C-alpha cells in the first residue's frame, strides 16, 4: 500500500503534524526499544508487527502520563466545577494516531519508526478499534471528550467497558453475518485498571421503611471495576479521563449459599453477574426491554455517582484538605450530562443517595438533583423511546421504583386537565404499566436539548408514542409540547459537531495542509477560520490543490479496497457514499432505487456519455432487525448484477463496504465526492456523518432534515443538492389524504420498472421471491415515504451528474462547503453546553507542562 506522505510532504507538514527534531526522534527510538525489551519482553528476532505496535503505543503513552497526572493535580488544586458525561456508548475507534496528533508527535514518531526500519501504517493497522458504540450517538460522545479536553474543561466520560463491542460484520453470499468483536484479546495499552476505586452496585432485594429512613436490603452486589483511558486535549497539556466500568463478582458471590459439593458451580455462576459488562447491545434507535440492558443502565450510573460524590467530598481549601458535606453546593461543583435516556437512572439514584444515604430532605435533594442533571435527546423515533415495565423495575430496583413514583406524585401536583396529566405522567397506564424514561429525564433535569435546530423544534411541538398494543405508532402531537408549555426555559438546542482533529487533521492531512498554507493553523482550534477560504474561491491554483488532494485520496481508497476487499473500482468515477447504520428511516432503499434507475438508463442508451459512478453503501444492521438485513441483501444483489454487466462496465459500480466502522470511515470519507443524507424529513435528529463528509470536501445530496438544514444555511443552499419533502410537507400529507405508494408506482414509469425488477427476481434469479417482503413494505407499509421523494431525488441526481462533468465548478462548490463547516466543530457545541447548561467557561490556555511548576 502506498504511504500517505512522501518525504517531501512530511517536511512540508511539520507545522500541522508536529516537529520532528533530532532529539525527539532519538528519544523515541530509545523508548521504543526499552518497551520492546522490558514491557513486551521481546527482541527484534522474535517480535511481530503487533509487538511493534504495542511498543510504539507504550512509547506514545509515556508522553501522556506526565500530563495526565499533572492535569488531575491541577484540577485538585484549582477545584473547578467538573462535568460528568454519562453515556452507554463511546465509539472511540483507534487511539494511537489521534494521540500523536494531539501531542504534536506524529512527525517525530514517523521518522523514528522509519529509522527503525518499520512501516508506520502497518503498525497503526495492528490497533483494534474500540467499537463501544453503535453509531452516531457513541461517536458523538467520543468527539465531545476530545473537545472537552481541548477546551480545558474538567470533564470525565463515564461508560461501560464492554468485553465485546459492536459486532464485526461479514458479508457471506450477500447476507450480513455477525461475529463477536473480541477487541481486548491482545490487551489494551491505553487503559489503566484502578482496582483501588472499585465500587459496589446493588440489585434486587426489598425496601424497609424505618424511623431512620428507607433501607434497601437483601440485595445482590456486583463490583464495578474502573478502567481509565487518557483523553488528550489538542496541544494544551491537558489530559482528561474516560472511566469505563467492568462488572466483577465479589469474592463471596453465591459461595455462602452452597455446601462444599456446590463450590464449583458457585464459582461458575460468578459469570452471571459479570455478564453486565460482557457485550454492547447492538441496537441503534430501537428499544429492547431486556433485564440485562436495564442492569447495564443502572450499573454505570450507580458506580459513577459513587465516584462523583467521593470526588465532590474530597475538596481542598488553600493547603487544607477538608471533607465537603454541604450538598447544596453540588450543582455548583458538578454537572451531570445524560447522553440520551440510557443513563436516566442517574436521577432516581442521585435522589436515593441524597435522601437515603446523605439524609437530605426530599425537597432539598430534588432541587440539588434537578440543578445538577441535564438531558440530551437524540431521536424522535417512537421505537427508540425507553419505556421499562413496572414489574421488571420492581424486581430489579425496588427502591428506585418507589422514588420514581414519588417524583411522579409530586410532579403531577399542578393545575391541569386529566388528559394532560395522563400525557405527562412518568408512569404510562395501559395493559402493562411502564416508566417513560424520557419523561423522567425531562422532569429531573434543569436543561433538555435536542441535537439540531429542526430536531429541537420538533421535540417541543410533538412526540410520537406507542399505543398499548405495540402494533403501530400514534402521533398524539403533544408529548414534549406539554412539558415545554409548563417550563419553556428548560428546553434548548445544541447542534451536534465533530472534532476537526480526528476528522480533518488526522484522517485528511493533505487537505489540512492545503488549508493551513492559505489561512494558517488556527482553524484546528477555531473551525470558524475556514470562512477565510472564501477569499480564494476563484484562485485557480487553490482550486487545483483542493482537487488534487481529493484525487489522491480517491486513488488511495481505491488501492485500499483492492487490497482488503478484492474489489477494483475506477478512481476517475464519482465516489458516491451512503455510510451509516442500516435503518428504514435512513432510506438506503431510496438509494437502491436510484442505483437501479441509473443502471436501466445506461442499459437503454449504452452509447450515451454517462457520468461514471461508484456507489458505496456501508453500515451494520441490528442482528434482530430483519428488514435492515434484507436491505443489505438487496444492495449486494444489485451489485452482483450491475458489477458483472459488460455493457455497463466502469460507468456504474455498486459496492457494499463490509464492516463499516470508525477506522474505515477515516479512510473512506476523505475520498468521497458525494454524501447521501436522504432520510425522510423530520426523522434524523442531526447526523454527524454529514458534517464529516462536508469538512472533507464532499458535496451533500439530502433532504432538509437534521443538521442538513443548518449545513445549507452555512454553505448556501445553492451549494448543496437539496431535494424532497420538508417537514411541513410530510405533516401536511399525514394530515390530509395520507401517503399512498401505489399512486407514485402507477404514475412514474422508471419507479415502476425498478420495483417490478426487484419483485420479479431480476436481481435474484435463483430466488425470484427473495425480496417479496421489501416490495410489500414499500408498497403497503412504508412509514418513511420512499416513493414520495423518488422523483425529486432522481432529478437531483441528474443535477449532480451534470455538475460533476465540470470539475472546476464542482471544486468551487466544494470550497464553499469546507468554508461553511465552522459551525459543525464539536468545540463550538461543547462551548455552548459549557456556558448555557453546565455553567462553566471553556479555555484555550495551556496548563503547565509536567516539567513546569503549577501556579
Tell me which residue has cell 435492515.
628
Mean pLDDT of the region 801-805: 98
- Is it the case that residue 570 has pLDDT exceeding 60? yes
Mean pLDDT of the region 697-722: 98
pLDDT recorded at residue 382: 85
- Is it the case that residue 346 has pLDDT exceeding 70? yes
Q: What are phi and psi of 336, to 5 degrees?
A: -115, 120
pLDDT recorded at residue 469: 34
Q: How far apart are CA 504 and CA 234, in angstroms?
A: 13
Q: Which domains does the chain have, with CATH numbers?
A: 1-78+98-128 (no CATH), 80-94+129-497 (3.40.50.2000), 539-820 (3.40.50.2000)
pLDDT recorded at residue 285: 83
Output the nine-digit C-alpha cell for 836.
448555557
- Is it the case that residue 476 has pLDDT exceeding 50? no
- Is it the case that residue 463 has pLDDT exceeding 70? no
* Structural contact between residues 373 and 331, judged by C-beta atoms closer than 8 angstroms: no
pTM for the whole thing?
0.95
Q: How confident is the model at residue 430 (pLDDT cuts 50, 70, 90)?
A: confident
Q: How far apart are CA 227 and CA 92, in angstroms?
A: 15
pLDDT recorded at residue 17: 67
* Structural contact between residues 647 and 603, judged by C-beta atoms closer than 8 angstroms: yes
Residues known to be catalytic: 378, 580-581, 586, 688, 692
Mean pLDDT of the region 732-747: 96
Q: What is the DSSP string of 265-297?
A: HHHHTHHHHHGGGTB----SS-----HHHHHHH
- Is it the case that residue 2 has pLDDT exceeding 60? no
Mean pLDDT of the region 169-184: 98
pLDDT recorded at residue 45: 95
Per DSSP, 498 falls in state B
Per DSSP, 459 falls in state H
Mean pLDDT of the region 821-846: 96
Task: Note the pLDDT tens digit of each residue in 556-566.
Answer: 999 999 998 88
- Is it the case that residue 264 has pLDDT exceeding 70? yes
Q: How far apart are CA 752 and CA 739, in angstroms?
A: 17
- Is it the case that residue 478 has pLDDT exceeding 70? no
Q: How confident is the model at residue 12 (pLDDT cuts 50, 70, 90)?
A: very low
Q: How confident is the model at residue 467 (pLDDT cuts 50, 70, 90)?
A: very low
pLDDT recorded at residue 855: 66
* Structural contact between residues 331 and 445, judged by C-beta atoms closer than 8 angstroms: no
- Is it the case that residue 416 has pLDDT exceeding 70? no
- Is it the case that residue 297 has pLDDT exceeding 60? yes
Average pLDDT, the chain: 93
Q: How confident is the model at residue 18 (pLDDT cuts 50, 70, 90)?
A: low
Per DSSP, 219 falls in state P
Mean pLDDT of the region 2-13: 40
Mean pLDDT of the region 504-517: 97
- Is it the case that residue 844 has pLDDT exceeding 90? no
Mean pLDDT of the region 618-642: 97
State how far the alpha carbon of 285 is from the alpha carbons of 342, 621, 683, 781, in Å. Answer: 12, 11, 11, 19
pLDDT recorded at residue 19: 63
Q: How confident is the model at residue 852 (pLDDT cuts 50, 70, 90)?
A: confident
Amino acid at each position: 500500500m502506498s504511504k500517505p506522505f512522501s518525504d517531501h510532504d512530511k517536511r512540508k507538514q511539520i507545522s500541522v503534524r508536529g516537529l520532528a527534531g533530532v532529539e525527539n526522534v532519538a528519544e523515541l527510538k530509545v523508548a521504543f526499544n526499552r518497551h520492546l525489551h522490558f514491557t513486551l519482553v521481546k527482541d527484534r528476532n522474535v517480535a511481530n508487527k503487533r509487538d511493534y505496535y504495542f511498543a510504539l503505543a507504550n512509547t506514545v503513552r509515556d508522553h501522556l502520563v506526565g500530563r495526565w497526572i499533572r492535569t488531575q493535580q491541577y484540577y485538585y488544586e484549582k477545584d473547578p466545577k467538573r462535568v460528568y458525561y454519562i453515556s452507554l456508548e463511546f465509539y472511540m475507534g483507534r487511539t494511537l494516531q489521534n494521540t500523536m496528533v494531539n501531542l504534536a508527535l506524529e512527525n517525530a514518531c514517523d521518522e523514528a519508526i522509519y529509522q527503525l526500519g518499520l512501516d508506520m501504517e502497518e503498525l497503526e493497522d495492528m490497533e483494534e478499534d474500540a467499537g463501544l458504540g453503535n453509531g452516531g450517538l457513541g461517536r458523538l460522545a467520543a468527539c465531545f471528550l476530545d473537545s472537552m479536553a481541548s477546551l480545558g474543561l474538567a470533564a470525565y466520560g463515564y461508560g461501560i467497558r464492554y468485553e465485546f463491542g459492536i459486532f464485526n460484520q461479514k458479508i457471506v453470499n450477500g447476507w450480513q453475518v455477525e461475529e463477536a468483536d473480541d477487541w481486548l484479546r491482545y490487551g489494551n495499552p491505553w487503559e489503566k485498571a484502578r482496582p483501588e476505586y472499585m465500587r459496589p452496585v446493588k440489585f434486587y432485594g426489598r425496601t424497609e421503611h424505618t424511623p431512620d429512613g428507607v433501607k434497601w436490603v437483601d440485595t445482590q452486589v456486583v463490583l464495578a471495576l474502573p478502567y481509565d483511558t487518557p483523553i488528550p486535549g489538542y496541544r494544551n497539556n491537558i489530559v482528561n479521563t474516560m472511566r469505563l466500568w467492568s462488572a466483577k463478582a465479589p469474592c463471596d458471590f453465591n459461595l455462602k449459599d452452597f455446601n462444599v459439593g456446590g463450590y464449583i458451580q458457585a464459582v461458575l455462576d460468578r459469570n452471571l453477574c459479570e455478564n453486565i459488562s460482557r457485550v454492547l447491545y447492538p441496537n441503534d434507535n430501537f428499544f429492547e426491554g431486556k433485564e440485562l440492558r436495564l442492569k447495564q443502565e443502572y450499573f454505570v450510573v450507580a458506580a459513577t455517582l459513587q465516584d462523583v460524590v467521593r470526588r465532590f467530598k474530597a475538596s481542598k481549601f488553600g493547603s487544607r484538605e477538608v471533607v465537603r458535606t454541604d450538598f447544596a453546593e453540588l450543582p455548583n461543583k458538578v454537572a451531570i450530562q445524560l447522553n440520551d435516556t440510557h443513563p436516566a437512572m442517574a436521577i432516581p439514584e442521585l435522589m436515593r443517595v441524597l435522601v437515603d444515604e446523605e439524609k437530605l430532605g426530599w425537597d432539598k435533594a430534588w432541587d440539588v438533583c434537578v440543578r445538577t442533571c441535564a438531558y440530551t435527546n437524540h431521536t424522535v423515533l417512537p421505537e427508540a423511546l425507553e419505556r421499562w415495565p413496572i414489574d421488571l423495575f420492581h424486581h430489579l430496583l425496588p427502591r428506585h421504583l418507589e422514588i420514581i413514583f414519588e417524583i411522579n406524585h409530586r410532579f403531577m401536583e399542578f393545575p391541569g386537565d386529566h388528559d394532560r396529566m395522563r400525557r405527562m405522567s412518568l408512569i404510562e397506564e395501559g395493559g402493562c404499566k411502564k416508566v417513560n424514561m424520557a419523561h423522567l429525564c425531562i422532569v429531573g433535569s434543569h436543561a433538555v436539548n435536542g441535537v439540531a435546530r429542526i430536531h429541537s423544534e420538533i421535540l417541543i411541538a410533538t412526540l410520537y408514542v406507542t399505543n398499548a398494543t405495540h402494533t403501530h405508532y400514534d402521533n398524539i402531537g403533544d408529548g414534549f409540547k406539554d412539558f415545554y408549555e409548563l417550563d419553556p426555559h428548560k428546553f434548548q438546542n445544541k447542534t451536534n459537531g465533530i472534532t476537526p482533529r480526528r476528522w480533518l487533521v488526522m484522517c485528511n492531512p493533505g487537505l489540512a495542509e492545503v488549508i493551513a498554507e492559505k489561512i494558517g493553523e488556527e482553524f484546528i482550534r477555531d473551525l470558524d477560520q475556514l470562512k477565510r477560504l472564501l477569499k480564494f474561491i476563484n484562485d485557480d491554483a487553490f482550486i487545483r490543490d483542493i482537487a488534487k488532494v481529493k484525487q489522491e485520496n480517491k486513488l488511495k481508497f481505491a488501492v485500499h479496497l483492492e487490497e482488503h476487499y478484492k474489489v477494483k473500482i475506477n478512481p476517475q468515477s464519482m465516489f458516491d457514499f451512503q455510510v451509516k447504520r442500516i435503518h428504514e428511516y435512513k432510506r438506503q432503499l431510496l438509494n437502491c432505487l436510484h442505483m437501479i434507475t441509473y443502471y436501466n438508463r445506461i442499459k437503454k442508451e449504452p452509447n450515451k456519455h454517462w457520468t461514471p459512478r461508484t456507489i458505496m453503501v456501508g453500515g451494520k444492521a441490528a442482528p434482530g432487525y430483519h428488514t435492515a438485513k434484507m436491505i443489505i441483501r438487496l444492495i449486494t444483489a444489485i451489485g452482483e448484477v450491475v458489477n458483472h454487466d459488460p455493457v455497463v462496465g466502469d460507468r456504474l459500480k455498486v459496492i457494499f463496504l463490509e464492516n463499516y466502522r470508525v477506522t474505515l470511515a477515516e479512510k473512506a470519507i476523505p475520498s468521497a465526492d458525494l454524501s447521501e443524507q436522504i432520510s425522510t424529513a423530520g426523522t434524523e435528529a442531526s447526523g454527524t456523518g454529514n458534517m464529516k463528509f462536508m469538512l472533507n470536501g464532499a458535496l451533500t445530496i439530502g433532504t432538509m432534515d437534521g443538521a442538513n438544514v443548518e449545513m445549507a444555511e452555512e454553505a448556501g443552499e445553492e451549494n448543496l443538492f437539496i431535494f424532497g419533502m420538508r417537514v411541513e410537507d410530510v405533516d401536511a400529507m399525514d394530515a390530509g389524504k395520507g401517503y399512498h405508494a401505489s399512486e407514485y408506482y402507477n404514475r412514474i414509469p422508471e419507479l415502476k420498472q425498478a420495483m417490478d425488477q426487484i419483485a420479479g427476481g431480476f436481481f435474484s434469479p435463483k430466488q425470484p421471491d427473495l425480496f417479496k417482503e421489501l416490495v410489500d413494505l414499500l408498497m403497503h407499509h412504508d412509514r418513511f415515504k420512499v416513493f414520495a421523494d423518488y422523483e425529486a431525488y432522481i432529478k437531483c441526481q441528474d443535477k449532480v451528474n451534470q455538475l460533476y462533468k465540470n470539475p472546476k465548478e464542482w471544486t468551487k462548490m466544494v470550497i464553499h462547503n469546507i468554508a461553511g463547516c465552522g459551525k459543525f466543530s464539536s468545540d463550538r457545541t461543547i462551548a455552548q453546553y459549557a456556558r448555557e447548561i453546565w455553567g462553566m467557561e471553556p479555555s484555550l490556555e495551556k496548563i503547565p507542562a509536567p516539567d513546569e511548576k503549577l501556579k
